[in-house]
Each structure stands twice: as structure tokens, then as C-alpha cells.
Amino acid sequence: MPRLALIRSAPPGAPGSMAAYADLVARALALDPPPGVRIGFCDAFDPRAGGDLWRQHFWRLRHFRGALRRASADAYHLLDGSMSAFLPRAVRERTWITVHDLIPVRQMRGALPGAQSLPARMIVRRGVRALRECRSVCADSEATRGDLMRLADVRAAAVIPPALRPLPPPAPMDESLPKRFVLHVGHNAPYKNRAGAIEVFRRLCERSDGSERGALHLVLAGPPPTLELRKRAAAAPRVVFLERVSDADLSALYRAAALLLFPSLYEGFGMPVLEAMSLGCPVVCSNAGALPEAAGAAALTAAADDLDALAGHCGAVLRDTALRERLVAAGRRRAAEFTLERMARQLWDWYGFPRGARPS
């Protein structure tokens, strides 16, 4: 009986996109697996190391081979392409791998901000070499597939967008939060452009009429901000940092927000855009990376560095009720396209598991 092992790089339920993606893949594959195929997991992480990246890397260097041996699978799916550097050569020819973005390679080439240490650069280069030796590679988006070819000389066999991540029912809103706010969701990596979101909001407030000027806030949901971000926020009107946000909190924020502002410098996919759309929150985002693929025609977009255009889009959504209603309706339709059933069908086609047969 053939066995497929899903290689996870983060514990189930951990914060971050990789744990969520592993859950989506597992749920999709469980819908209608080919007869006789068993699906299991190989955990390539140290639960004691938590979110310490370098401790996790050190654990993988020492223990990844043993974890794969214990999984004892006919085929592996490495769910996090950034971990390809640690994949032993002996199993690469039996490994399918999902690449979510090539942001570290873009940073090395100066196409995105972000300094990298020498060890980090070594890991990135080793990971690119490993991608070329794996059985098959898929990308989350056409943007990532293009990066793989241009920046890594790797041909992706498929583009498989993730299904919409389900969010739990909303938690009660914190009564101390503003009643009317623009929402940004993201961490402190420079490409997430939290600083840009603050500047867009500042320009929006400068051009708004008096009725908006005293009411509207910007809520940035994510980790504790850097000192530089706090300084920027202090120079702008009514910016709130919201930390330790659960999925239930996020569900409530999307429902309550006037709009989602998502001016990333690059995204390999952009799940917050679809999450917001699915819950009736209109979206203003950049047109960088895969965001046009995720948003389709259901968002207002502009270049990430065109802060005036992004502020203008936000103002239009806030003022024009008909435009807002059109975006909300189009967003719900767009989000509904990203189903588990579609993801499952694309994954099984990519693996090439014939019905009732072993993987070749």
C-alpha cells in the first residue's frame, strides 16, 4: 500500500502561514484520496525550539534524516519550500515540494529590502540547488513560478493556489478598539510594508473631510512593532498596534473593518486578501507579486510605492457606498473560488497517483 508523507515545518496550530498551509493540504487530500494510498506526516521541527529559527535549523541538520526514516514513505511532499536546504539527497528524487515564494532570493539580489547574514545566504543557495534535484516542484502562484524560472532556473510543474483558510467564528470585539478603522494584517518583515501602510493612512487622513478626520483609525494586527515603526506611528494620526491576535480575533477584525489595506512590496500569494473578501471586507492592495492573481478584479490596486493612489483608493471605498457594495459582492465571489475540492484535485493530478496504483 503506497504511503505519502507530508513534511511539516511547524507544529499544527502554530502561528504563521506554514502551519495553516499544512492543515489545508491535509484536509484537502483527505476528501477523496486514490484507493489504497495512506497519508501520514513527517515532522521536521523541534517542538522545544518554538519560533527560534536558528535552533530549528540546527535541529533539522541533525535530525531531519531520522524523521524521514521513521516516516518510511514511498513519496514525500515538503510543504515549505524554504526548508529544501535541509532535505537529504537520498530522498529528493521521491520528494514533491511546494514553493510559496522566493523572497530570500529576491533579497539577495537587491530586489527587496532586508539584510541577510552569511549563514542565511548559504542556506538560500543550498536550498535552490536542492530544488533542482527534487522529483517535482509546484508554486502557489504564477508569480512564484516565474521567479523560480528566472531566479533559480527551476521549472515548476504546476501552479496550485491554496484553498481559502477557514477562520473560526469571531471573538467579541475589544471595546477599547476604535469603532471605524482601516485594517492591516502582517508581520514586521520589510516586504510586508507596515511603514507604507502607516504613510498611506497619513495621506488618507490629510485629504479626508472633517467628518472622517476625527473618527477613522488604522489598526495594524501582527507582532509587536519595531522601534522604527513605533516612531512612524507616533508621527501619524490614530495608529493602533494590535498584538497577540488569534484567528477568532482576526475573524472579528475583518468583519468590523472599513477596509483591508495591504500594500505589500511582494507576496507569493496573499491569503489575508481572500480572508478579508470572504468576510465582506473590501480590499485595497498593491499589485506586487501574486496579489493580482489572488484578488482578481475584486480589489482596488496600485503600485506599492504609489502611496497617493493607494490613499485615493481607500478614500473612494470610504466615501462611495455603491463602490463598497460592488467590491464586497465581487470579493465574496472571488474568495469562493478557492475551495478545498479544487486544491485536492490539483494536488492529486500533480502527484500523478493513478487511481488504485502506486506512485511511479
According to DSSP, residue 170 is labeled P
Q: pLDDT at residue 119 above 80?
A: yes
Quick one: average pLDDT of 225-232?
A: 95
pLDDT tens digits along 254-281: 999 999 999 999 999 999 999 999 999 9
Q: What is the mean pLDDT of the chain?
A: 93
CB 282 within 8 A of CB 327: yes
3-state helix vs strand vs coil in the chain, percent to 5: 45, 15, 40
pTM (2 d.p.): 0.92
Task: Pull the grid cell for residue 296.
Answer: 482578481
The pLDDT of residue 358 is 41
Q: pLDDT at residue 213 above 80?
A: no
The pLDDT of residue 209 is 59
Quick one: average pLDDT of 29-43?
A: 91
The pLDDT of residue 52 is 85
Q: What is the DSSP string of 31-58?
A: TSPPTT-EEEEEE-S-TTTTT-HHHHHH
The pLDDT of residue 34 is 87
Task: Pull the grid cell for residue 294.
Answer: 489572488
Domains and CATH numbers, the chain: 3-163+339-351 (3.40.50.2000), 181-336 (3.40.50.2000)
pLDDT tier at 356, thresholds 50, 70, 90 = very low
Q: pLDDT at residue 360 above 50?
A: no
The pLDDT of residue 91 is 94
The pLDDT of residue 115 is 81
Helix, strand, or coil (residue 238): coil
The residues pairing with 262 across neighbouring beta strands, listed in sequence order, are 285
pLDDT tens digits along 40-79: 999 999 988 887 888 999 999 999 999 999 998 999 999 9
pLDDT tier at 211, thresholds 50, 70, 90 = very low
Task: Return the exposure string of 88-102: e unless at least 16 CB atoms fall within 10 Å of the residue's CB, then b.
Answer: eeebbeebbbbbbbb
CA 22 vs CA 41, 77, 259: distances in Å: 10, 10, 28
Spatial neighbors of 346 by CB under 8 A, at least 6 apart, are 158, 160
According to DSSP, residue 285 is labeled E
Quick one: average pLDDT of 184-213?
A: 87
Task: Pull the grid cell for residue 242.
Answer: 494590535
- In this predicted structure, which of 14-23, 157-166, 297-306 has the lowest mean pLDDT? 14-23
